[in-house]
Amino acid sequence: MPESLQVSTAAVPDSKADTPLIEITGATVCRGDNQVFDDFSLTLSQHESVAILGPNGAGKTTLLKLLMREIYPLWREHPVVRILGKERNDIWELRRQLGIISADLQEIYSPEVLGRQVVLSGFFSSVGIWGHQRLTQDQHEQVQTVLARLDIEDLADRPYGELSSGQQRRLLLGRALVNAPAHLILDEPTSGLDLAATFQYLQTMRQLIRSGHTLVLVTHHIHEIPPEVTRVVMLNQGRVWADGSKSEMLSESRLSTLYGVEVRLVESAGWYQALPV
């Protein structure tokens, strides 16, 4: 990906530098009859890229849905869920500040939708483009710029259903970037990708961090954590199980306990991989 992908300084017009990106305090969250979070609290800064790591069932998906305003905490002694200091966000302002790319989103686009339409739909947070939506020339130009910066111009006029998982994933990243958000939340970004597509996407993540974006990576794969990520938050059974620097958190003993299986940890050039013992 070209180095020209930069953060728009207009992406965070009203956010004070010391305001947390995400602030959750005392949240109790149920999904159906299952209580996932009980008095859950977590604060993430605007200025650090973080990996939220945990096994299946740890609460990662619930956390994402909480941030996407798809679910809400129970009202017990005023729980707090703030994004950039606000409990209630103007949706248009929020899109300019925070881009969320979930694994679920990839599955719901129609196979006939063209790549360009996938990226254009980011302006409306819709799935594809609909007849009542009116696009400006500036928006079309912004999409073309994002396609070029992600090196996916060749996908613009191809049907979504004919693309590989890696190509679809890059279009969804473009969908988030059209609004020039300073902060991105990525949900298991390389799940289902082959080796070449995985490496390409990881390199894109690294360059986004280097260009000034804050990345929050939600995953259960430690190989997805780029060297530029400095903090790891470990979730387990609906709570923050451990939280600290990447070098402190990613240890053989801690990972073995978190996942309930003995692992051997390998580190190379800031990348980590867990191997069976």
25 within some domain? yes
What is the rounded average pLDDT of the residues 36-44?
A: 93
CATH code for the domain in which residue 30 is found: 3.40.50.300
**Of 12 and 186, more confident:** 186
* Cα distances (angstroms) measured from residue 166 to each of 11, 180, 201, 270: 27, 22, 8, 23
Residue 225 to residue 233: CA distance in whole angstroms: 12
2 within some domain? no
262 within some domain? yes
Exposed, middle or buried: residue 242 (CB in 10 Å: 0-12, 13-18, 19+)?
A: middle
214 within some domain? yes
Q: For position 115, what pLDDT does the model report?
A: 94
Decide: 52 and 218 in contact? Cβ < 8 Å. yes
What is the rounded average pLDDT of the residues 74-97?
A: 75
176 within some domain? yes
What domain count does the chain have? Answer: 1
Sign of the alpha-carbon dihedral angle for 262, 268, 272, 275 = negative
What is the rounded average pLDDT of the residues 120-137?
A: 76
Can you give the pTM of this predicted structure? 0.86
21 within some domain? yes
Query: Mind spelling out the 3-state secondary structure of the chain?
Result: CCCCCCCCHHHCCCCCCCCCCEEEEEEEEEECCEEEEEEEEEEECCCCCEEEECCCCCCHHHHHHHHCCCCCCCCCCCCEEEECCECCCCHHHHHHHEEEECHHHHCCCCCCCEHHHHHHHHHCCCCCCCCCCCCCHHHHHHHHHHHHHCCCHHHCCCEHHHCCHHHHHHHHHHHHHCCCCCEEEEECCCCCCCHHHHHHHHHHHHHHHHCCCEEEEEECCHHHCCCCCCEEEEEECCEEEEEEEHHHHCCHHHHHHHHCCCEEEEEECCEEEEEEC
What is the rounded average pLDDT of the residues 212-229?
A: 94
Q: For position 147, what pLDDT does the model report?
A: 94
71 within some domain? yes
1 within some domain? no
The domain containing residue 245 runs over which residues?
A: 9-276
In this predicted structure, the answer to whether residue 11 has a pLDDT above a threshold of 80 is no
Long-range contacts of 133-142 (CB under 8 A, 24+ apart): 139/178, 142/178
In this predicted structure, the answer to whether residue 6 has a pLDDT above a threshold of 70 is no
pLDDT in tens, 148-171: 989 999 999 999 999 998 899 999
What is the rounded average pLDDT of the residues 256-265?
A: 96
**Of 11 and 115, more confident:** 115
